[in-house]
Amino acid sequence: MVLRARGVAGVLGFAGLLALIEWFSTGRVTWLPVVTVAVFLVSTAAFKMLPWKGAIFAVRPGSRLYSAVLFGLFVRHFAAILETESRRVLTARRLCISRKWGPGWLRSLAFALAALLNRTLVRAERFYAAQRVRGLGE
C-alpha cells in the first residue's frame, strides 16, 4: 500500500492542529489526534486493499453486510470525487493568482474552498434525490 506524502502530511498537520487547539483550550491533549490518524490509516488501507468491485456481488442483497459494503462503496466513490474536485479547484486557483503570497491570496483561497463545498453539496443533493426516487434513500 502506497500513501501519498501530501495526503499523509495533510492528515498529520490536521491532527497537529487538533492537538494545538486542545492544548490551548484545555491545557491538555486527548487521544483525538491519534484516533484521527488511526482512522485515516485504517480507512485508507481498507479502501486500497479490499476488492470493492467484486464485494457487492459476493454478499446477499438485503443483509447487513450488503448495506455495509454498499455504504463503503458510496464513501469510496465520493472520497474519490472530492479528491478530484478539490484538485481541480485548487489548480484553477493556482493558475489564476499571480503570486502565492500577496494581496488577496487568503480571500481567493476562501472563495475556492467555498466553491468546492458548494459543488460537493449540490452533488450530494443530486445523489440523494436519485436514491430517493429509486426508493433507496429513506
Over residues 17-73, the pLDDT tens digits come to 999 999 999 999 999 999 999 988 888 887 778 777 777 788 888 888 888 888 888
Percent of the chain at pLDDT > 90 equals 16
Question: What predicted TM-score, i.e. pTM, was given to this entire model?
Answer: 0.60
Question: What 3 state SS string does 49-107 have?
Answer: HCCHHHHHHHCCCCCHHHHHHHHHHHHHHHHHHHHHHHHHHHHHHHHHCCCCCCCCHHH
Average pLDDT of the residues in 127-137: 77
